[in-house]
Amino acid sequence: MKICFIVYALNVGSAFLRGYQITESLARHNIEAHILDWPDLTIKLSREKSLEYNIFIFVKEWSPELVSMIKKKSNAKIIIDIVDNYQLHDEFSYNKVSYDLVDVFVVPTTYQKMLLTQRFLNYKKKPVWVIPHHHTNFYNLINDVIRPVNCIGFQGTVSNRIPKTLEKKLKFFCKSHKIKWKSFFTRGIKILYNSLSISEINLLVQHQLDNIDIGIIFPPDNSSISNPIEREKFTMELLLFKPATRLLNFLSHGIPTICYPYTSYLEVCVSSGYPLFVSDEDSLFNCLKLLIEDVSLRSNIAKKGLEIANRYSLEQIVLYYRDYLLTLK
């Protein structure tokens, strides 16, 4: 079996997480896998009469035109690994005919499988595999939960910044408790993917987290969108299809982490009994006070978080790919 992961560009996060890392890990299970970006695939399609791969896996973005070209030159299976494709709902709404080009869909949660099957595939009998997203902390550097709380940290991206009014309240809360406030974003790591090795990127992620004692994850703020249709579209794209990677990175460091109930977070944690979900500011600040004051509570939640995170390590997630791919032999 020879597999090719296809990514839009080699310098984006999905290429790193669901491309390079899974490709390298599959090799340890005696499955030959390679990775190409769209320009390289286009060149390959134009130069070669036939393709040697048995399976092509498009990660996040995909192109019906490229898939059609692949189909003409091989009998390879086509898989779309959706991951966190925010454009899914526009893309498939306007390209309904392209359903038939895809042999298998991959989504990270069972809720997304239900949504994809019902809303986009209209109950067509297409295989949909559930393969969770893995976290990026391979080394399991565990923070000391016994030490006093010195830093509360928020991690996010441009799409889910904390509303300014709430961040002011959090900074005031931290100042009144003589605690540091730290917010950081993952966009800078993506920009550096071209120049950093995998191990260097992992160390960078760890460095951002290893001084944080309590973590906070926030949903995107759509309060400024007045049009109800646009708000619904924004909510579905940024909430329903956002994987739980950031939460898992926090938990893999043993950091008690408060989060709002994203769909993917609920699926990761609720069935495992992870308790720190909040839906309003009062609940958020009550949680923070309890965690600051109660060392045993922090310790117990940290242990529970580590148990959950271990289920989403790269080593565990690649087994999903291996087992599913072997069914296509």
Q: Decide: 108 and 132 in contact? Cβ < 8 Å.
A: yes
| 3-class SS of residue 249 | helix
What was the pLDDT predicted at 157?
57
Reported as a single tens digit per residue, the pLDDT across 287-316 is 999 999 999 999 999 999 999 988 888 899
Residues 293-319 as b/e (b if ≥16 CB within 10 A, e otherwise) read eeeebbeebbebbbebbeebbbeebbe
What was the pLDDT predicted at 298?
93
Per-residue CA distances from 267 to 110, 228, 256, 260 (Å):
8, 26, 18, 12
What was the pLDDT predicted at 83?
67
Number of H helices, E strands in the chain: 15, 10
* Residue ranges matching CATH 3.40.50.2000 in the chain: 2-134+314-326, 151-310
What pTM was computed for the model? 0.82
DSSP conformation class of 184: E
As given in the structure block, the two tokens for residue 212 are 């944080």
Rounded distance between C-alpha atoms, residue 174 and residue 152, angstroms: 8
* H-run or E-run covering 22: helix 21-27
pLDDT higher than threshold 80 for residue 182: yes
- From the number of C-beta atoms within 10 Å of its C-beta (0-12, 13-18, 19+), residue 207 rates as exposed
| Mean pLDDT along residues 213-232 | 67
Please report the sign of the dihedral spanned by the C-alpha atoms of residue 191, residue 257, residue 242, residue 220: negative
Comparing 308 with 142, the larger pLDDT belongs to 308
Rounded distance between C-alpha atoms, residue 150 and residue 107, angstroms: 38
- DSSP of 194-235, one letter per residue? GTS-HHHHHHHHHHHHTT-SEEEE-----TT---HHHHHHHH
User: 175 falls in which pLDDT band (50, 70, 90)?
Assistant: very high
| 3-class SS of residue 285 | helix
Reported as a single tens digit per residue, the pLDDT across 62-110 is 888 899 999 999 999 999 987 665 555 555 555 555 677 889 999 888 8
CATH of 151-310, one of 2.40.160.20, 3.20.20.80, 3.40.50.2000, 3.40.50.2300: 3.40.50.2000
What was the pLDDT predicted at 107?
87
Rounded distance between C-alpha atoms, residue 125 and residue 145, angstroms: 48
Q: Give 98's contacts (C-beta < 8 A, 6+ positions apart).
A: 64, 67, 92
* H-run or E-run covering 104: strand 104-107
Q: Decide: 287 and 278 in contact? Cβ < 8 Å.
A: yes
Comparing 220 with 319, the larger pLDDT belongs to 319
What was the pLDDT predicted at 244?
77
Of 39, 40, 29, nearest in space to 1 by CA? 29
Class of domain 2-134+314-326: alpha beta
| Mean pLDDT along residues 162-191 | 80
DSSP conformation class of 123: T
As given in the structure block, the two tokens for residue 263 are 């769909």
What was the pLDDT predicted at 158?
53
What was the pLDDT predicted at 246?
78
Reported as a single tens digit per residue, the pLDDT across 226-271 is 666 665 665 555 555 566 777 888 898 889 999 876 677 777 887 7
Q: What angle do CA 161, 264, 306 make, to 5 degrees?
A: 90
What was the pLDDT predicted at 54?
94
* H-run or E-run covering 268: helix 263-269
| 3-class SS of residue 106 | strand
Counting every residue written for the chain, the total comes to: 329
Q: According to the per-residue pLDDT averaged within each range, which of 73-77, 134-138, 151-155 is highest?
A: 73-77
What was the pLDDT predicted at 113?
84
Q: Decide: 37 and 15 in contact? Cβ < 8 Å.
A: yes
What was the pLDDT predicted at 237?
54
